[in-house]
Amino acid sequence: MGWPSGYGRRVLAEVDSTNAEAARLAPGLVGPEWILGLRQTAARGRRGRGWVMPAGNFAATLVVRLDEPPDRVALRSFVAALALYDGLEAVTGTAAGLALKWPNDVLMNHGKVAGILLEGLGQGALAVGIGVNLVAAPEAAEVESGAVLPVSVLAETGVRVTPEALLEALAVAWASHEERLVTYGFGPIREAWLARAARLGEEITARTGRETLTGTFETVDEAGRLVLKTPKGRVAIAAADVFF
């Protein structure tokens, strides 16, 4: 497979969180860098939620510096999701059961196997944090009510994957999709993401913090927004938690 040219890599036996480490390292980095934490002591998910990480699971952050508007930078959540999909297919030998859940989760057999967290670090630096349940998943009681239940790669496929093996597959896939985004724009990334989307054409619920909207998941638009067909018309949503 081979490590992608131009990307740094560091593997840490223990860290508070790979996104926190990314923030500390970002000012001194001259190129994109992957940071893998084999143990995290203060992991976080979206909206500041805790992220449970048993030993053997995957936690990594890519630090990249991008001279782009914020809305363009945010499209890296789609790049990360596609890279995770391809990476998991590479290390397990199958894409069966894999699907992408807007805005930034990866599903396996209808359960959440991975999550993505993007954080701006200032001075054009972006942290792309990725957590994957390789060998164990949190208990149902540990997740938000109504959320997709967590699953692990090992339980769903019977394949035991090391964090280091997934990192290499993920880094290769990221480099490929990132090059496609830079070269051809969001169009091909959007099409690839929609081809792997969970519940496309079905009824879903989106909670934005201000309101809850239920409608048919029609598409993701050219800005990466979720488009719902609701009784009040079509609505484009920039940020929300999605429930099935």
Domains of the chain: 8-195 (3.30.930.10), 203-243 (2.30.30.100)
Query: If you average pLDDT over every residue of the chain, what do you get?
Result: 93
Q: Is cis: bond before 4, omega within 30 of 0?
A: no
Which one is predicted more confidently, 142 or 211?
211
Buried (b) or exposed (e) across 34-66, using 16+ Cβ within 10 A? bbbbbebeebbbbeeeebbbeebbbbbbbbbeb
Tell me the torsion sign for CA atoms 5, 26, 128, 72: negative
- Show Cβ contacts of residue 82 under 8 Å, excluding neighbours closer than 6 positions: 100, 173, 177, 189, 192, 193, 196
| Lookup: tokens for 55 | 């030993």
CA distance 150 to 237: 25
Going by C-alpha positions, the residue among 208, 225, 228, 207 that lies closest to residue 216 is: 228
Per DSSP (E only), the strands in the chain are: 8-12, 33-37, 58-65, 98-101, 105-108, 111-122, 125-132, 203-207, 212-220, 226-230, 233-237, 241-243
113, 156 Cβ separation under 8 angstroms? yes
Give pLDDT tens digits for 19-33: 999 999 999 999 999
Question: β-strand 212-220 against 226-230: which pairing, if any?
Answer: antiparallel
DSSP three-state, residue 17: coil
Q: What percent of the chain has pLDDT over 90?
A: 85
**What Rg do the C-alpha atoms of the chain give, in angstroms?**
17
Query: Average pLDDT for residues 64-90, to the nearest whole number?
Result: 96
Positive or negative, the Cα torsion across 52, 241, 97, 171? negative
Q: Is the pLDDT of residue 232 over 60?
A: yes
Q: Has residue 141 got a pLDDT over 90? A: no
SS3 state of residue 102: coil
| Rounded alpha-carbon distances, angstroms, from residue 93 to 75, 86, 133, 161, 172 | 27, 10, 17, 11, 16
CA angle 204, 209, 212 (to 5 degrees): 35
Res. 147 pLDDT band, cuts 50 70 90: confident
Using the predicted structure, report yes or no on whether residue 50 has a pLDDT greater than 90. no
Half-sphere exposure of 144 (CA within 13 A, CB side): 15
**What is residue 28's predicted lDDT score, i.e. its pLDDT?**
93
Determine the Cα–Cα distance for residues 227 and 219; give it in Å rounded to an integer: 5
